[in-house]
Each structure stands twice: as C-alpha cells, then as structure tokens.
Structure 1
Amino acid sequence: MFFKSFFDENLAQMSYMVGCQKTGEALVIDPARDITPYLTTAKKEGFDITSITETHIHADYLSGARELAEKTGGKLYLSDEGDDDWKYGFAKEYSYQWLKGGDHFYVGNVKLDVLHTPGHTPESLSYLLTDEGGGSSVPMGIFTGDFVFVGDVGRPDLLEKAAGASGSSEVGAKDMFKSLQRFKELPDYVQVWPGHGAGSACGKSLGAVPSSTVGYEKINNWALSYEEEASFIDELLEGQPEPPKYFTMMKKLNKEGPALLDDHQSVEKMNIEQTQKAVEQGNAVIDTRSKEDFAKGHLPGTINLPFNKAFANWAGWLISYDQDIVLISDESEVEDIQIALQSIGLDRLVGFVNQDDVDQKDNLETYESITADQLAEKFKDHEDYIIVDVRNQSEWDEEHMEGAFHVMLGTLPDRLDEIPEGKTPIVHCQSGIRSAIATSVLQAYGYKDVLNLKGGFSAWKEYGGKVA
C-alpha cells in the first residue's frame, strides 16, 4: 500500500493519497483545489487516480474534488447522509457513488469502511482503512476529516454561524457526543489522520502534530474525557472563535460545485497608473509587502495583507467575491498568491504591479505607529481619540483596555459607521500584526489619520496600562 499526506500551511488543511501498488489505483481524500500535488505524486509513483472522496462539505476551503474528477475521470465517493439541503449538486456530472454509514468501497486491494460521524456537519463521514492487499484483516487507521483532530474535535456551530441553519449548533453538539462514543470503541492502535492541524478555524485547540492514534486521543483529547452529554455540549460550544466571513461562500460553492479552473488564466502586469485606476473603480488592491514597508509608503485605497500563512484567511474576511483583485507584490510570488486566493474561491485576480514600482514612487500615503507610553500620553486627551481593539472576542473577554471600542478585524469594513467621526483611531491587536492590517483598512475607507500601537495589547500590559 502507498500512503502520502499533503499539508496546505495557508489553511492548515490535510489531504491524503492512498494507493494500491498491486493494481496501480489511487484514492485522494479531501483534495485541496490546487490538484497539482496529487497529479505530480501519482505520475511519480506510477498511479492512476481512480477514486476521489470527501469527508464532508467543507466550509473553510474550496474543494478540489470536482477539479480532480474533471482532470482524471476518477470516481467520486460522496456522502449521502444528512438532509436534502446538504447534498453534492455537481456529483451527477461525473462517475459517482453515494455513501452511507456501514458502506464500504475498495481502491485496488485497500478497503475503506464508511462510518457516519455527524457533529461537525450532519453529512460527515470517516473512513476506516484496512490494507487487505498487504495481508491485514484489521484496520490501520481512520480518516476523520473534521470529526476528530489531534487534541480536539470539530466545531458544531459553523452551520448556524456561517450557513444560517438556526438551532443547529446544539443539535450538532449532541451528534458529536454520540459519534465520539462510537469512536472510543475503535481499537487503540488505529491511527488517526485528521483533516486539519493547528491554525485551522474548524476547532478551538487543534494540535500541531499531524497524526495520532485512537488510544492516544482517548487519553489526551479533552473531548473524549467527557461521559456526561450536557457538560460536554457546554464545553464544546463555549469559546468557539468567530468563523471567517468566507465560510458561508465555501459551503455554498462546495455544495454546488466549485468553478473549474482555467489552466491558462493569466494575470496582467500593470503600472502604477493602472493600479490607481483600479482602486478608483472599486477593485480590491492588495499590497502584500511587509507592514513596515506599507507604513512607510503605500498607494491610497490599498489594503495591506502580507503574504504569509494568514494571507488566505484575512483575504477571505476582507475581500468581496464580486470584486476584481489587483496585487502589489514581487512578481515571483504572484502565482503562489493566486493559488492561495483560489483556495478559497477568490478567482478574480486580474493584475499585479511589481512592489518595486511602489517603493520608488514619491508622495505615497503613510501611517504612524506609536509606543505604549505615547498612547498613555494621548489618553490624557482621550476625547480626541478612540482606541479600536481588533482582537477576537475571546481575547477581548479575557481582558482589554479601559474605554476601548471592540471590533474584530474581519468585521471592520461592515462596522465603520460605529467609529465616531472627528476622532483619531488608535488601533491595536495583541502583538501589532492584525492592527497593521486594520490600519490599512481604515485608511482605505477614508480614515486617513490613524495610529497603530506597536506591540499591541501585550506592549500596553508590559507598560502597566490600565485594563478591564
């Protein structure tokens, strides 16, 4: 048997390829939209991708299942659990088979037993793998998707918060408790191959280790220690982070079928004048330079999203799906940035301008960063300023500056009318990274006199500033 995992660090997303070396057939589980790694691996290892499956309809990234079926002709194995609102609308365009708990299918001589494991979503499936071609009669491992992670379990509130399914959070939590009782019955030696690692918004406290075992999770996973349903539900639902805005769109697109990517989709190289016009026309112009370079000088109306692991997440929060997108970046990074945007369905990248062109331009817009002691001094004239805390709700609830106004970064464009006119915003997060993005958003929407707190709330506490 062949086994390989793939990790997208931008989305903390895991996908897998399993192959039968005797027959040359391969299965891909939970493919990302960029299918190049699977095609490359299959060619290198001498496999034909004959099967494609998903554990559930994803909310946090755009699936590559349709793309892979289109390119390879592989058969889709998709969940037929849950109600009619959550069925894959594109399946009938391809060779497909619906799956329910208790079913099984083969990839060559590798057997996949289907377990219905609702909780994260009603249609969620897990796949128990047995390498019969290798002579085994017992399972080697289980692909859990967003059911069980290393150290955590999937959140059940996304359908309610991101898809508007009223009352589904508690129903999902009850389903999760029942699914976990069945998970505990699996042999301790069974390996656990989850759909995400640390950094994903699909759970509260995912571990960074990529795999585990059932036995280890029984001992160490907080969710498996509960024997009483009510207390488990309370703990599971409490403190879940805000789901990114783009999750709603991902559920819709993954259900209906993501658009197929154009192999020849080109991105126009633009000049400064064209980029400025793009801003005037209402396009999203994303400056991917560092926050330090952006602060020293940037084109008015642009948003600063440095290209790092958090790029796709914040792009999904802050960029509208009906906007064309223009980048300010190093030309060598454009393709990788495009893949990151496409991973969450932001497909309307139309152009880029080389960041060196911006660095060399005169009369750019700037912003100032202040220290904690400077902030304390400005507090004396607090009527002229408003402190804007852009951290998550859980961070705010734990402690915050006295007199601050809280608006989570991702919701900032929708709450600008809550920032009083005539006051200078002083923006902070925990360390200064998110507040730099927020500062760029405020400037792009017309709040030109904005200050950013260096070091964020951590620096304020170290200084000894007042907190509530």
Structure 2
Amino acid sequence: MGFADDHLVPLVDAGLGNSAYLVDLGDGRALAVDASRDLRSLREAAARRGLRVAFAADTHLHADFLSGARQLAHDDGAQVLASAAGQRAFPHTPLADGDETDLGGLTLRALATPGHTTEHLSFVLLDGGRELGVFSGGSMIVNSAARTDLLGADRADELARAQYRSLRRLAALPDEVALWPTHGAGPFCSAPPGRERTSTIGAQKRTNPLLAAPDEDAFVRTLTAGLGSYPAYFARLAEANRRGPGVLTAAPQLPGLSVAQVEDLLRRGGYLVDVRPTADFAAGHVPGSVSIALRDQFATWLGWLLPDSAPLAFVTDERQDPAEIVWQAYKIGYERLAGRLAGGLDAWLAAGGEAQTVDVVTADRAADPAAGRPVLDVRQRAEHTAGHIPGAAHIELGSLAGHAGDVDDGTLVHCAHGERAMTAASLLQRAGRERLTVLAGGPDRWAAARGTQLVHGDGATGPPRGP
C-alpha cells in the first residue's frame, strides 16, 4: 500500500503528556502503538475509519500509564508486539533487535533503544525498503530524550549512557524519516515544554540539544542535570504492565453512595476525593477530603498523592462525568473505586455533617511574607527556581504529606494557578493545620500587584515559619 500522512492518527493524552498512535493499514485493519488502558479516543478514531486493531505494539514497560495492548488482544484479537527482554507474562510476540513484523504491505522493524528503560524498543515503519517513520517511545523525543532514573537514581548514569547510544542510532536514520515519540511536552518522563509532539530525524539533528552534545559525558551531564521528581505511582506500573493489566469485560462504574457508606469507608482507611472545581471546594467541603480537581492532570495527582491500595470515594458536582474519573483512575492502576457521594456536599450537610472552608485571596490582598506571614510554594523545583516570592518556603506538592507537620497554621499556599495549592491546603487541613489561605494565581501575579521582582534560584527550601 502507499502510505499517506492521514494514515497516521496521533492520540494525545494532554494530562499525562503522552501520545499513542493509530495507523490505518489500508485494509480495514490498524496498528496501535503505545495505547493506554483508556481506549476511548482510540476506539473513536478506529470507528470513524471502520478499522479493527490487528496489531498493538508497546515500546516499553511504561512508567506512567497502564498499557491497553492486552485489552486490544482480548477485544479485537490484536497481536501484541513487545520486547522479548520485557518478559511479559501474557501472550505476545516477543521481539529482539532487527525483528520484523509483516503488517500486510507495511513492515514494522524492532530497533533496540535502551536508556529510558532497559528493554526499550523503537519501531521503524517501512513501506517496502523505504523508512517512513519511527515510533521512538521514550528514546528520542522532540528536542530531548526521556529520563533515565526510573529504575533508581543509582542507575541513571548507566542508562543515560545507553540513551546516548540509542539517540545516535536513531539519528543515523535518513533525515526525512518522521519521529513519532510517545512522551512529549509536559510529562514527568521527559522533556522541555513545547507545542511540537512529532518531528523528523533531520529536524532533530538541527534542534535537539542532546544530539549537539560533543561527547558521551557531556550528553549524560545535560540529560541528568534536569531530572526532577516524578509521581510515586510510576514505580508500580512497570511490573503491572509486565504482568498485564486485568482485562475488562464491561466499562467500570462509579455508583452512588449514601452518607453512611462514605463514613464507613473513611473509618476503614479509605479516602474521600473531592473532584469539584477549587472554588467549590474552598466554599465548603467534607472535613478530611482531598481536593484533586477533575482536569487533565487528575490522574497524575491521584497517583502521586494517594495509595492504590485504599478504597476511594468521590465528591462530584452534577456537571462532571463519572466516567472521566473512572478512566483516569484505571489507566494508572487505581481500581478500588467505591463510588461517589450521592447528592454531593448537600447530602452530607443534610445528614448533619460539618463542612470546612479554605480562604482564597487575590494577589493584591495577599499578605507579604516580609510582614511575617509564612508563604509556601508547592510547585516543582524547576518552577520555584525560575522565580518565586521573596521569603517563600518551598515543598513540592508530591512530598508535602510527609512534611505537613512542619507547616505552620496561617500559611499562605500557592502554586502557578491555584489547583495544586488547593490540593496542598486540603492535605494540610487533614494534618490539622488551620487558617490556611490559597493564593489565586501564581507568583507572577503577586509580583505584578506589588510592582516588585521575584527571586531566582533555590532560595528558601525548608518549611514555612511564622513569627
């Protein structure tokens, strides 16, 4: 078959920052590459074209989502293509470097590209002898390469050196070959921010700073210098993908729960997650509930902050789709979803329950830390060092629960917009902190309201202290 650009459909998960790909093979069949367990967008794209997924290729044992390949094998009879070195515990076609799979006119060639993970494969798509593009997974990505510390900080240097060799192997492909990475801008697995999710080998030779490194040592220093923290659930998913996620025979549901059922769940060590917009949570919420607003990044923060072993219940509003909660949770391995509080906060209050609030202030009304008000920045370290409020302490949201006892009552909490700060305030309230305030907006807005400058560099890194 002749391959045209419209035969490739990128499927972007904006929250996790990843791309899956659906390839129309021209005969009613399709190839899926790095599909997540949330197959809704892939199913829609396949249905629009009248396609059945005949092949499901995974580039690596993903650290940031559960693979949908096993589900595609069950539902569509897809042949799962994956690295032999990954030792997956379910039926698949194990591939080694150079192995080729006939897709029916097109060919998929496995290319060993370790670095992001040890068993990592890239897949070169060929039309006859012509290389069309490469599904590079977490090896070469747009203007960067994916992180090499997911198997432990002690192996980051070793795997960065493997990544160096893998990128150069990919760079040896012809300039016109398309680059189709899985990881893109924004995920914790990779990369610098940016809009472009795909590229070409030739463009990357010109713009990727890692390919411009003069030698292997310089490459390793550049790649590992920017590694920050990453969600706690990453550590669990590689083994979950090796075993294979459980096959679903029906779409999981989120049933309504009575107030008594929610109270019983909390007594048994469960969590109540409030997914309403932050303004609604601030105005009133069930004491002890954790605010994680239902948005693109919901799965990231659910998987970072809460255990996958505890039952979860949710507080929603009538405009929110329970299916979105379910699929964001399931794609990162969170399946102990008890349900949602029927009637929401109104039902809780009607049953005699109390509510807590969180004050939200605009930048012009926020107290100045110079006047003795403790201020806590819960953004990522790179965000903090790029510019923060003078005197602000810094504790990343992902590690805040372990430091909540060090934070004073009366602290002003902020992030870049407000969602993470509200989550932080909810965690601090669970730990007994009182009189918390969340800044509406971030440090730029605070500085603009005062006509002052932000501080650059590490600055304060410990817990905030009042007078």
Q: Per the shorter chain, which TM-score range? A: 0.7 to 0.9
From 8, 18, 21, the counterpart of 2:23: 18
Q: 1:235 to 1:426 in 2, by over 3 A?
A: same
Q: CA deviation at 1:10?
A: 2.3
Name the aligned partner's letter for residue 65 of structure 1: A
From 70, 78, 82, the counterpart of 1:78: 82
- Equivalent position of 1:321 in the other structure: 308
SS of 1:187's partner is coil
Q: TM-score, normalised by structure 2?
A: 0.88
Name the aligned partner's letter for residue 152 of structure 1: S
From 441, 452, 456, the counterpart of 2:427: 441
1:147 aligns with 2:139: yes
Q: CA deviation at 1:48?
A: 3.6
Trace 1:259-270 onto structure 2 (pairs within 5 A): 259-263=246-250, 265-270=252-257
Q: Distance in 2 between matches of 1:400 and 1:60?
A: 29
Q: Distance in 2 between matches of 1:16 and 1:431?
A: 31
- Equivalent position of 1:425 in the other structure: 411
Q: Distance in 2 between matches of 1:274 and 1:359?
A: 12
- Equivalent position of 1:351 in the other structure: 339
Q: Alpha-carbon deviations, 1:212-264, whole Å to 9, x = none? A: 11111111122222232111111111122311111011122112222223415
SS of 1:182's partner is helix
1:108 aligns with 2:110: no
Any stretches of 5+ residues in structure 2 without a counterpart?
460-467
SS of 2:151's partner is helix
SS of 1:57's partner is coil
- Equivalent position of 1:364 in the other structure: 355
SS of 1:139's partner is strand
Q: Distance in 2 between matches of 1:235 and 1:378?
A: 35
Q: CA deviation at 1:113?
A: 1.4
- Equivalent position of 1:294 in the other structure: 281
Q: 1:36 to 1:294 in 2, by over 3 A?
A: closer
Q: Distance in 2 between matches of 1:393 and 1:184?
A: 32
Q: Distance in 1 between matches of 2:183 and 2:70?
A: 20
Q: 1:47 to 1:457 in 2, by over 3 A?
A: closer
SS of 2:8's partner is strand
From 218, 226, 241, the counterpart of 1:254: 241
Alpha carbons 2:32, 2:55 under 8 Å: kept: yes
SS of 1:327's partner is strand
Q: Distance in 2 between matches of 1:437 and 1:274?
A: 24
Q: Distance in 1 between matches of 2:49 and 2:23?
A: 11
- Equivalent position of 1:387 in the other structure: 375
Q: 1:305 to 1:172 in 2, by over 3 A?
A: same
- Equivalent position of 2:465 in the other structure: none
Q: CA deviation at 1:188?
A: 0.9
Q: Distance in 1 between matches of 2:358 and 2:401?
A: 19
Q: Alpha-carbon deviations, 1:97-116, whole Å to 9, x = none? A: 21111111111111111111
- Equivalent position of 1:281 in the other structure: 268
SS of 1:28's partner is strand
Any stretches of 5+ residues in structure 1 without a counterpart?
82-86, 162-166
From 123, 144, 151, the counterpart of 1:159: 151
Q: Alpha-carbon deviations, 1:329-353, whole Å to 9, x = none? A: 1355101111111111111111112
1:219 aligns with 2:206: yes
- Equivalent position of 1:30 in the other structure: 34
Q: 1:215 to 1:371 in 2, by over 3 A?
A: same
SS of 1:427's partner is strand
Name the aligned partner's letter for residue 78 of structure 1: A
Q: 1:374 to 1:90 in 2, by over 3 A?
A: same
Q: Alpha-carbon deviations, 1:140-175, whole Å to 9, x = none? A: 1111111122222111122215xxxxx210111111
- Equivalent position of 1:330 in the other structure: 317
- Equivalent position of 1:89 in the other structure: 88
From 115, 121, 124, the counterpart of 2:117: 121
Q: CA deviation at 1:211?
A: 1.7
- Equivalent position of 2:385 in the other structure: 397
Q: TM-score, normalised by structure 1?
A: 0.87
Q: Distance in 1 between matches of 2:363 and 2:45?
A: 51
Aligned CA RMSD, in angstroms, stands at 2.5
Alpha carbons 1:200, 1:206 under 8 Å: kept: no
Q: Distance in 2 between matches of 1:344 and 1:16?
A: 19
Q: Distance in 2 between matches of 1:292 and 1:252?
A: 38
From 212, 216, 221, the counterpart of 1:234: 221
Q: Alpha-carbon deviations, 1:48-95, whole Å to 9, x = none? A: 4332211111001111112222222322211124xxxxx23323xx2x
Q: Distance in 2 between matches of 1:4 and 1:321?
A: 32
From 51, 55, 64, the counterpart of 1:51: 55
Q: CA deviation at 1:387?
A: 2.8
Alpha carbons 2:259, 2:348 under 8 Å: kept: no
Q: 1:295 to 1:110 in 2, by over 3 A?
A: same
Q: Distance in 1 between matches of 2:309 and 2:51?
A: 39
Name the aligned partner's letter for residue 139 of structure 1: E
- Equivalent position of 1:84 in the other structure: none
Q: Distance in 2 between matches of 1:388 and 1:67?
A: 43
Residue range with higher mean Cα deviation, 440-449 or 394-403: 394-403
1:185 aligns with 2:184: no
Q: 1:386 to 1:375 in 2, by over 3 A?
A: same
SS of 1:204's partner is coil
Alignment identity in percent? 31
- Equivalent position of 1:63 in the other structure: 67
Q: Distance in 2 between matches of 1:427 and 1:456?
A: 10
